[in-house]
Structure 1
Amino acid sequence: MGTKVRNLRMTRTKQSLIDAFIKLVNEKDFEQITIADLAEGAQVNRATFYAHFNDKYELLDYLVGDTASTAIVNRTKGEVEFNEEGITQLVLAICDFYQQPDVDCRRSYITLVVPQLKDKAISELKAYLLKALPSHCSADEIVLYSALIAQMIHESASQWASGNTALDKEDIAKKVALLVLHGFQ
């Protein structure tokens, strides 16, 4: 069998496992999902599951994957800027990121996935901010400020995503951008 056919088959199998996982998360709590459930849902055997993932946690991590990075790149068009527009787009990117998971909010999903989403979002924000912060800041200040601003951006998007504010995401993004930039004047 050719490499191209084998790669296509592996990609389809991995997607079948992801689809089975998403379907199962909508039906039962994460803790109750077994590898047998996932294999059955994807119409593969357990060994095939293990050829792709070590466990259901690795599958979940793969599913969350690079969506935070993708959301940031999509909103910023890959340009790294520390200005009102750049910060506004970071807040909107994290709002987009939280709209991505297409699963019902079952108890285990909230307790397991939301912290993982938060960690990924903050990590990607820090990486962006480390490149974007003004060069007149010292290295220590850049590390500190990137962590603080990433937390602020994340929290504002999280408040919006959870419905804890009546403000729309564009208003929140603009207010956070002004708040962040005011600290650098």
Structure 2
Amino acid sequence: MGLKVKHMRNTRTKDLIFEAFVELVNEKDFEKITIQNVTVQARINRATFYSHFQDKYEFLEKSTMDSAIELIHGQTGGICVFTEEKIRKLVHVVFKYHQQVKTNCHRSYKSITPLLRKQMIQALQSYFNSCLHHMCVDDFTFYSQMYSTMIYDAVNLRLTEQTSLSEAEIADKMVHLIGSSRPFIVDSQTPLIGQEH
């Protein structure tokens, strides 16, 4: 019972810190936000902040990674399979990830895009690693890194207006590229390859 209460308290404190950051980052650039700004906004003391995060950069890294993982899990249901539908959903995840960050951190969005790229590719790679490892694919780490980078960078071309392709057209191209690189992708009508992990 005590552990559950402590976990709930920790979760609530982290929520307060996150909410404070979102409010502050809409008023000023991330670089100009101080820990004191955050603690005053969240109505917590500095020791409480530092019991959860080393500094604001660790907070940003953790929150962007948590967001990426949460979005992937939400779109895939946590089930690692290789289908056209799942590839399309992962393309959608990258678009949604950027939309969320742009909405919540519009003043600092451009300055944190390198971090967003790193975190989302890492989260995608973790998903692909689970899928391909379970399927006993040789060199699964190579393929998971390649697919993750391909999907992220394809979406980024649209976000940076280097292509006029729509989200659906980008998803079509990713399905084709990933499908042609290895014969283990299946269409949505075929029984799923892979299992829940």
Q: Normalising by the residue count of structure 1, what TM-score does the alignment of the two structures yield? A: 0.81
Any idea what the Cα deviations from partners look like across 1:132-173, whole Å, max 9, x if unmatched? 34957423xx22222112110111122233444332212211
2:154–2:170 contact (8 Å) kept in structure 1: yes
Partner of 1:120: 119
Partner of 2:104: 103
Partner of 2:129: 130
Partner of 2:47: 47
Partner of 1:171: 169
2:147–2:178 contact (8 Å) kept in structure 1: yes
Partner of 2:187: none
Mapping of residues 17-36 of structure 1, within 5 Å: 17-36=17-36
Q: What amino acid is aligned across from residue 81 of structure 2 in structure 1?
A: E
Any idea what the Cα deviations from partners look like across 1:42-87, whole Å, max 9, x if unmatched? 1222223223322111221232132222222222223322232232
Partner of 1:38: 38
Report how many residues are paired.
180
Q: Normalising by the residue count of structure 2, what TM-score does the alignment of the two structures yield? A: 0.77
- Going from structure 1 to structure 2, the CA distance change for 1:31 and 1:120 (only over 3 Å counts) comes to same
Distance 2:80 2:10 in 1: 35
Task: Please say if 1:76 is aligned against 2:81.
Answer: no
Structure 2: segments with no counterpart, 5+ residues: 184-197
Partner of 1:152: 150
Secondary structure at 1:65 match in 2: helix
What is the root-mean-square deviation in Å for CA atoms of aligned residues? Answer: 2.6
Aligned-residue sequence identity (percent) comes to: 37
Partner of 2:189: none
Distance 1:146 1:115 in 2: 20
Q: Which stretch has the larger CA shift, 22-31 or 4-13?
A: 4-13
- Going from structure 1 to structure 2, the CA distance change for 1:132 and 1:65 (only over 3 Å counts) comes to closer
Q: How far apart are residue 109 of structure 1 and its match? A: 4.1
Q: What amino acid is aligned across from residue 116 of structure 2 in structure 1?
A: L
Structure 1: segments with no counterpart, 5+ residues: none
- Going from structure 1 to structure 2, the CA distance change for 1:44 and 1:70 (only over 3 Å counts) comes to closer
- Going from structure 1 to structure 2, the CA distance change for 1:49 and 1:4 (only over 3 Å counts) comes to same
Any idea what the Cα deviations from partners look like across 1:75-134, whole Å, max 9, x if unmatched? 22233222322322221222222222232432x5422x3222211211122222223349
Partner of 1:15: 15
